[in-house]
């Protein structure tokens, strides 16, 4: 028995035989040609064939995994049509008098290297896409077409890396899990695996000679166990059955409305920390994203993310959600979320200190950069903006003034954005609860951050595990604050949701619905369970 670990791209347990992915022979010879015109003709014919394959793949993906994920094959069509890419191939053929296969492979490598060296994570991810389209073009030039991996029994697929087109072409009923030696949890392939509901691990240091061996993929722990002993196998079989039973029951909730028996509808959204989490929301049939913690973009960087970098990230999430609601919370750092390059002073009481909106309203250029990025991305989806840690009316008014200023800057350059973009605030301080009537007049929605609201209402540090005895997640003061917020919001036509952890607490779902909550946003894996509770309510 041998263990190998990597990063989990999607949870779940799979038990089965390993099949190493068969890829086309990559040997491409450089051949001298004399007839440049007919080589170019051959290239154009192969390109047409590749384009029609991509169109067919788009249709297949549309059917299997939905529009948001199918879009990658439209992107591939656009990349294949890109002027720079095509000019590079044609120039190599003409200037070096070489075969089209060699020119395509060289261009593919050059473009992939260029993308891979870019700072922007999204652009780096495009390296795999340009390699993918180049391999397709080469395969079509060689008359081979796409790889055939036709399995006769369900297998655990092991590969060095998987391109999105390879992933989607696989017969998903025949794949128990994906394990790749390279790859990132943010790649389209990882997103596709989540959407297809297939456990996936990336960056696993698994040897090459594993084809045909029995293995267990533990997507919870990011582990592959090869040749498991009997005890381990039995333990995982039980675990797998339990997982499957749970999923079976909850799967029945997919596609159903979140509505009580008496007809009250509640929106169920997912909380995400980055683009890699969108798949979880879609997989669990979330109606959208109720909290995108944008600070994770800043936390995963070594310097302030540029407006362009943020724009690309927000746009990508918006496009993956394909028109579903996407509420992006502006930067919420300080307290437990420290970032070196912000160079924040050490504080006596960080939870009560320089954090969240207080930083944004002080370091205005950091805030304006984010606001412009958010507005620009709003042209690509149903984005709403939410401000955290509000305690006063003037803070909201200043945020709105700065948002208007950002809009004016974009207008001056004719940059499109959603003119009627919704704006909301987090209600996570007792001060905000007590003046909720006044705040409600300023915004379109409230989202109650119960994690901080509990901390500040009960004066209990949410980070301190020694206070457990005093901590009551269902403290009546917190529940009363939630009711007050809902009532105040509704008096002013402002819808009210919960995006703190309490929103997913099954013991409180009924209580919140009875209080009149309009939306609950939670970790995506809790969505279907909550839907079931609401649908079972009278
Ligand atoms: C909250 O405070 O409840 C919340 C959702 O925000 P965070 O947990 O990111 O502080
Ligand atoms: Mg909070």
HEC-encoded secondary structure of 242-311: HHHHHHHHHHCCCCCCCECCCCCECEEEEEECCHHHHHHHHHCCCCEEEEEECHHHHHCCCCCCCHHHHH
Total structural domains within the chain: 3
**Does the Cβ of 450 fall within 6 Å of ligand 1?**
yes
Which pLDDT belongs to residue 388?
A: 98
Q: How confident is the model at residue 126 (pLDDT cuts 50, 70, 90)?
A: confident
The reply to whether 264 falls in a domain is no
Read off the CATH number of the domain in which 346 is found. Answer: 3.20.20.60
Encode pLDDT of 127-153 as tens digits. 888 888 998 888 888 765 544 566 778
**Does the Cβ of 293 fall within 6 Å of ligand 1?**
yes
Q: Name the residue with the closest Cα to ligand 1, atom 6.
A: 449
No. of helices (H) and no. of strands (E), the chain: 20, 16
Read off the CATH number of the domain in which 193 is found. Answer: 3.50.30.10
Encode pLDDT of 459-484 as tens digits. 998 877 678 788 888 999 999 999 99
Q: How confident is the model at residue 452 (pLDDT cuts 50, 70, 90)?
A: very high
pLDDT tops 50 at residue 520:
yes
**Residue 121 sits in the same domain as residue 66:** yes
Q: Name the residue with the closest Cα to ligand 1, atom 3.
A: 449
Calculate how far, in angstroms, residue 449's C-alpha sits from the geometric centre of ligand 1. Answer: 5
The reply to whether 384 falls in a domain is yes
Q: Report which bound ligand comes closest to the CA of 336.
A: 1
**Does the Cβ of 452 fall within 6 Å of ligand 1?**
yes
Calculate how far, in angstroms, residue 58's C-alpha sits from the geometric centre of ligand 1. Answer: 38
The beta-strand segments (E) located in 6-108 are: 7-10, 13-20
Encode pLDDT of 55-66 as tens digits. 988 887 777 767
pLDDT tops 80 at residue 269:
yes
Atom index in ligand 1 nearest the CA of residue 455 equals 2
More confident residue, 187 or 56: 56
**Residue 105 sits in the same domain as residue 241:** no
User: Residue 155 belongs to what domain range?
Assistant: 2-22+148-248
Return the half-sphere exposure (C-beta side, CA atoms, 13 A cut-off) of residue 511. 15
Atom index in ligand 1 nearest the CA of residue 448 equals 3
Q: How confident is the model at residue 24 (pLDDT cuts 50, 70, 90)?
A: low
Q: What does pLDDT average to over the chain? A: 90
**Residue 129 sits in the same domain as residue 223:** no
**Residue 220 sits in the same domain as residue 339:** no
Atom index in ligand 1 nearest the CA of residue 388 equals 6
Among 526, 11, 524, residue whose Cα is nearest residue 274: 524
- Decide: 536 and 509 in contact? Cβ < 8 Å: no
**Residue 138 sits in the same domain as residue 152:** no
The reply to whether 265 falls in a domain is no
**Residue 183 sits in the same domain as residue 55:** no
Encode pLDDT of 228-257 as tens digits. 999 999 999 999 999 888 888 888 999 999
Domain end point (choices 142, 170, 204) = 142
**Does the Cβ of 449 fall within 6 Å of ligand 1?**
yes
Backbone φ and ψ of 476, nearest 5°: -60, -30
Q: Which of 148-157, 183-192, 324-333 has the lowest mean pLDDT?
A: 183-192
Encode pLDDT of 275-290 as tens digits. 878 988 998 999 999 9
Which pLDDT belongs to residue 165?
A: 64
Backbone φ and ψ of 521, nearest 5°: -120, 135
The reply to whether 396 falls in a domain is yes
The tokens for 198 are 């297939």
Atom index in ligand 1 nearest the CA of residue 332 equals 9
The reply to whether 231 falls in a domain is yes
The reply to whether 104 falls in a domain is yes
**Does the Cβ of 519 fall within 6 Å of ligand 1?**
no
Which pLDDT belongs to residue 144?
A: 55
**Residue 331 sits in the same domain as residue 455:** yes
For the chain, the distance separating the N- and C-terminal CA atoms, rounded to the nearest angstrom, is: 52
The reply to whether 485 falls in a domain is no
**Does the Cβ of 499 fall within 6 Å of ligand 1?**
yes
Q: List for the chain the helix, strand, coil content (%; round to 5).
A: 50, 15, 35
pLDDT tops 50 at residue 437:
yes
Name the residue of 391, 428, 450 whose CB sits within 8 Å of the most ligand 1 atoms, as the mutation to test its pocket. Answer: 428
Q: Report which bound ligand comes closest to the CA of 502.
A: 1
**Residue 285 sits in the same domain as residue 193:** no
Name the residue of 270, 357, 500 whose CB sits within 8 Å of the most ligand 1 atoms, as the mutation to test its pocket. Answer: 500
**Residue 469 sits in the same domain as residue 513:** yes
Name the residue of 352, 357, 452, 458 whose CB sits within 8 Å of the most ligand 1 atoms, as the mutation to test its pocket. Answer: 452
More confident residue, 508 or 74: 508
């Amino acid at each position: 028995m041998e263990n190998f670990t990597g990063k989990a791209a999607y949870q779940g347990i799979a038990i089965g035989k390993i099949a190493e992915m068969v890829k086309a022979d990559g040997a491409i010879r450089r051949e001298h040609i004399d007839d440049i015109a007919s080589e170019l003709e051959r290239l154009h014919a192969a390109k047409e064939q590749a384009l029609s394959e991509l169109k067919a793949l788009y249709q297949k993906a549309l059917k299997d995994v939905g529009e948001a994920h199918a879009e990658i094959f439209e992107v591939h069509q656009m990349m294949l049509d890109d002027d720079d890419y095509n000019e590079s191939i044609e120039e190599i053929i003409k200037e070096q008098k070489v075969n089209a296969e060699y020119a395509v492979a060289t261009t593919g490598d050059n473009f992939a290297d260029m993308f891979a060296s870019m700072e922007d994570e999204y652009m780096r991810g495009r390296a795999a896409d340009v390699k993918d389209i180049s391999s397709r073009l080469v395969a079509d030039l060689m008359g081979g077409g796409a790889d055939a991996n036709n399995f006769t029994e369900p297998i655990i697929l092991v590969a060095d890396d998987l391109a999105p087109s390879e992933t989607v072409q696989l017969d998903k009923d025949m794949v128990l899990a994906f394990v790749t030696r390279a790859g990132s949890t943010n790649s389209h392939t990882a997103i596709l695996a989540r959407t297809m509901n297939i456990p996936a691990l990336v960056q696993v240091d698994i040897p090459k000679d594993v084809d045909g061996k029995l293995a267990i993929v533990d997507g919870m722990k990011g582990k592959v166990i090869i040749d498991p002993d009997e005890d381990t196998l039995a333990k995982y079989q039980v675990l797998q059955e339990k997982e499957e039973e749970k999923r079976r029951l909850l799967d029945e909730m997919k596609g159903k409305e979140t509505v009580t028996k008496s007809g009250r509808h509640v929106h169920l959204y997912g909380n995400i920390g980055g683009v890699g989490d969108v798949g979880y929301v879609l997989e669990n049939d979330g109606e959208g994203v109720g909290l995108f913690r944008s600070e994770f973009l800043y936390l995963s960087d070594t310097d302030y993310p540029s407006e362009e970098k943020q724009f690309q990230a927000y746009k990508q999430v918006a496009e993956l959600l394909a028109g579903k609601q996407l509420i992006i919370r502006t930067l919420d750092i300080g307290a437990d979320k420290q970032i070196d390059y912000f160079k924040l002073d050490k504080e006596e009481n960080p939870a009560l200190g320089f954090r969240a909106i207080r930083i944004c309203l002080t370091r205005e250029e950091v805030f304006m950069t984010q606001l412009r990025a958010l507005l620009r991305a709003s042209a690509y989806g149903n984005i709403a903006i939410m401000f955290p840690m509000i305690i006063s009316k003037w803070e909201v008014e200043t945020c709105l003034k700065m948002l208007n200023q950002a809009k004016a800057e974009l207008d001056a350059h004719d940059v499109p954005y959603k003119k009627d973009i919704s704006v909301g605030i987090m209600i996570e301080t007792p001060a905000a609860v007590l003046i909720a009537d006044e705040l409600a007049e300023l915004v379109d929605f409230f989202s109650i951050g119960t994690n901080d609201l509990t901390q500040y209402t009960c004066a209990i540090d949410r980070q301190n595990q020694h206070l457990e005895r005093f901590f009551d997640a269902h403290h009546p003061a917190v529940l009363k604050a939630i009711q007050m917020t809902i009532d105040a919001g509704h008096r002013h036509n402002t819808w009210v949701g919960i995006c703190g952890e309490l929103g997913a607490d099954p013991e409180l779902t009924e209580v919140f619905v009875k209080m009149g909550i309009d939306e609950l946003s939670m970790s995506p894996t809790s969505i279907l369970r909550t839907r079931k509770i609401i649908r079972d309510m009278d």
